[in-house]
């Protein structure tokens, strides 16, 4: 009997051990099988009306998850971003500098807020802080000449002879200068991340919201990575330049706000299917964004779409906006409704209310009046020799977003078609054309119309009225839209997710090379 009890006790113990092991395995299994959607909340705040119904819309039932995720965004979690492993990225970047639109300067004077060295061949000369170096005096009649100017102790070099919007610009890093035919070409080589400090300040006002500046920093970094790979400025020994041909650099000097925006997004770029995206951006939307192929032709990029810039129902409730939005079908972009003249005019005239993100921006709507004589002058002799006196101007083809793609000038002799949004904007504007913004203010001095989102009417006197909206090409991120979203409480991740559909934030290694970590 005693042996039987021992045996029974032993069996019970074995059974308990088995149950404990099984329970542990079951718990682990349960943990492993948690669906991915519960592990990481996928937030998509703004509606993308281009694709299937409901895509990108926050459901009312997601409000708690949305709140939790938004709170999580207040902390630094960039270490959780996926890292890239395929392409290498240099630590430094070489920027071809320009002044008054030219890469070649007849005069270059440089000073520094620290001691500096000038290296020319095997010769190295040191100069004290504050000394102004005139390269014409330094190089004399020698031609060609290559030299490098390096500040000590992380100082900055100021090109005293340059004229930027805030005066003579100062540069981090070093200056590599080539003299040829008594003119000088200057390349600024500096740390890649530090380059972005003065790009963000030049491309977006430092007074904008922090999250908007951070979104701009990611766009600028992504754009620079793409352009470096292009090799467009190799003949100058540079990766890119400091103008709109690349992206504007150091026209407006770096600020604490732009430095922080870059540092808080350090190494982050946007990718799509593993490739760095073309992170285009523009100033102000008219209430919609545009596809890249409608603006520049070529292959459509699936992350650059035409979509209405309106809040979703979930956003409307969160923001306390009691207005009723339009039936989306009326302005549905995916089926091309805004490409029809009647619908586009209603959209621009705001005869029905659209809860646009940027509806209060001055350039959200604008008007231009051109006389018949002005049209004739703007068209130029090459066109008017064919058309004769121009009697009518009409937009004849629009993209899905409503952007003008073709415009016809009808004359007494014949008609001429103008193709492309840039060509259309250029033909209908000159610096003396007055643009009236929706806030009643007027501006001029532009070589292009603010945008190609406009329609044309003509009065009895033959004057042409251009009724338009937005500022810029309309592709990618609207900078004022980003700022308006940031003011409404959106984080830079949400802003980027809206403007670049289906993209991912990924991170470059701090050294400048992409990591191969998993």
pLDDT tens column, 228-263: 888 889 999 999 999 999 999 999 999 999 999 999
For the residues 460-485, what does the mean pLDDT come to? 95
pTM of the model: 0.78
Using the predicted structure, report yes or no on whether residue 6 has a pLDDT greater than 70: no
Phi/psi at 124 (5° precision) = -130, 125
The pLDDT, as a whole number, for residue 61 is 30
pLDDT tens column, 402-456: 999 999 999 999 999 999 999 999 999 999 999 999 999 999 999 999 999 999 9
pLDDT tens column, 338-349: 888 988 998 999
Higher pLDDT, 499 or 56: 499
Neighbours of 134 (CB within 10 A): 13
> How far apart are alpha carbons 187 and 244 in whole angstroms?
16
Pairing of strands 157-159, 170-171: antiparallel
259 Cα distance to chain centroid: 17
Sorted by sequence, the CB contacts under 8 Å of residue 113 that are 6+ apart come out as 129, 130, 151, 155, 156, 158, 170
Higher pLDDT, 492 or 82: 492
Using the predicted structure, report yes or no on whether residue 386 has a pLDDT greater than 90: yes
Q: Please, what sign has the CA dihedral across residues 384, 385, 391, 393?
A: negative
The pLDDT, as a whole number, for residue 238 is 96
Omega cis (within 30) before 10: no
Using the predicted structure, report yes or no on whether residue 362 has a pLDDT greater than 90: yes
């Amino acid at each position: 009997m005693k042996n039987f009890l021992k045996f029974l006790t032993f069996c019970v113990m074995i059974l308990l051990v088995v149950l404990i092991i099984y329970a542990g395995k079951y718990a682990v299994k349960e943990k492993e099988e948690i669906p991915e959607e519960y592990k990481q909340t996928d937030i998509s705040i703004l509606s993308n009306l281009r694709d299937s119904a409901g895509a990108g819309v926050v459901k009312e039932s997601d409000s708690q998850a949305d709140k939790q995720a938004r709170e999580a965004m207040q902390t630094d979690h960039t270490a959780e971003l996926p890292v890239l492993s395929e392409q290498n990225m240099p630590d430094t970047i070489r920027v071809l500098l320009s002044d008054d639109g030219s890469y070649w300067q007849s005069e270059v004077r440089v000073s520094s807020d620290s001691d500096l060295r000038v290296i020319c061949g095997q010769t190295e000369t040191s100069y004290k802080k504050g000394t102004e170096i005139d390269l014409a005096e330094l190089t004399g009649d020698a031609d060609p000449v290559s030299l490098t100017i390096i500040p000590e102790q992380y100082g900055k070099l100021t090109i005293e002879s340059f004229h930027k919007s805030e005066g003579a610009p100062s540069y981090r890093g070093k200056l590599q200068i080539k003299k040829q035919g008594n003119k000088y070409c200057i390349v600024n080589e500096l740390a890649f991340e530090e380059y972005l400090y003065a790009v963000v300040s030049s491309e977006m006002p430092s007074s904008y919201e922090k999250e908007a500046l951070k979104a701009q920093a990611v766009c600028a970094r992504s754009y620079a990575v793409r352009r470096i790979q292009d090799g467009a400025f190799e003949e100058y020994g540079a990766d890119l330049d400091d103008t709109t041909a690349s992206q504007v650099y150091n026209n407006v000097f770096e600020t604490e706000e732009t430095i922080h925006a870059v540092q808080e997004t350090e190494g982050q770029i946007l990718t799509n299917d593993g490739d760095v995206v073309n992170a285009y951006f523009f100033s102000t939307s008219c209430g919609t964004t545009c596809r890249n192929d409608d603006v520049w032709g070529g292959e459509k990029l699936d992350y650059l779409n035409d979509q209405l810039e309106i809040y979703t129902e979930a956003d409307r409730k969160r923001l306390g906006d009691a207005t009723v939005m339009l039936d989306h079908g009326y302005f549905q972009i995916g089926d091309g409704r805004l490409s029809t003249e009647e619908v586009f005019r209603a959209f621009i005239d705001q005869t029905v209310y659209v809860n646009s993100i940027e509806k209060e921006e001055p350039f959200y709507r604008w008007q231009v009046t051109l006389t018949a004589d002005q049209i004739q002058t703007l068209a130029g002799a090459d066109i008017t020799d064919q058309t004769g006196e121009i009697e009518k101007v009409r937009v004849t083809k629009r993209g899905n977003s409503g952007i003008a793609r073709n415009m016809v000038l009808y004359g007494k002799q014949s008609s001429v078609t103008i193709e492309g949004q840039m060509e259309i904007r250029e033909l209908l504007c000159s610096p003396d054309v007055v643009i009236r913004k929706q806030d009643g203010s007027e501006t001029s001095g532009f070589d292009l119309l603010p945008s190609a989102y406009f329609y044309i009417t003509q009065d009895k006197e033959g004057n042409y009225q251009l009724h338009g909206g937005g500022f810029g090409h309309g592709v990618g991120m609207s900078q004022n839209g980003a700022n308006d979203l940031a003011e409404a409480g959106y984080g830079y991740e949400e802003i980027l997710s809206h403007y670049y559909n289906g993209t991912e934030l990924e991170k470059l290694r701090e050294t400048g090379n992409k990591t191969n970590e998993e």
